[in-house]
């Protein structure tokens, strides 16, 4: 359960490579996917979808691709 959840630092997750905005958008999109999967599978997850999404990014199960700004 999420009672013992410790908030990871953005710097710990990406070592300053990406913007906080990119992280927030990616976590929100992944949390929506998790919610949709739970509804379609009628499954129950103990943790909240946002917490699951943050943990997945923290464990590097997903990567965020940002566009090149060197145009």
Residue 1 domain flag: no
Whether pTM exceeds 0.85: no
pLDDT at 1 over 60: no
Residue 29 domain flag: yes
Distances (CA, A) of 71 to 18, 67, 68: 18, 10, 7
Encode pLDDT of 2-26 as tens digits: 555 666 666 666 655 667 888 889 9
Residue 63 domain flag: no
For 45, the domain range is 11-58
Q: How many domains does the chain have?
A: 1
Average pLDDT, the chain: 78
- From CA 20, how far away is CA 39, in angstroms rounded? 29
Quote the pLDDT of residue 37: 87
For range 41-70, the mean pLDDT: 80
């Amino acid at each position: 359960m999420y009672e013992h959840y410790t908030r990871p630092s953005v710097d710990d997750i990406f070592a300053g490579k990406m913007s906080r905005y990119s992280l927030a958008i990616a976590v929100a999109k992944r949390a929506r996917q998790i919610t949709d999967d739970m509804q379609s599978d009628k499954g129950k997850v103990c943790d909240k979808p946002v917490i699951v999404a943050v943990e997945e990014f923290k464990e590097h199960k997903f990567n965020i691709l940002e566009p090149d700004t060197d145009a």
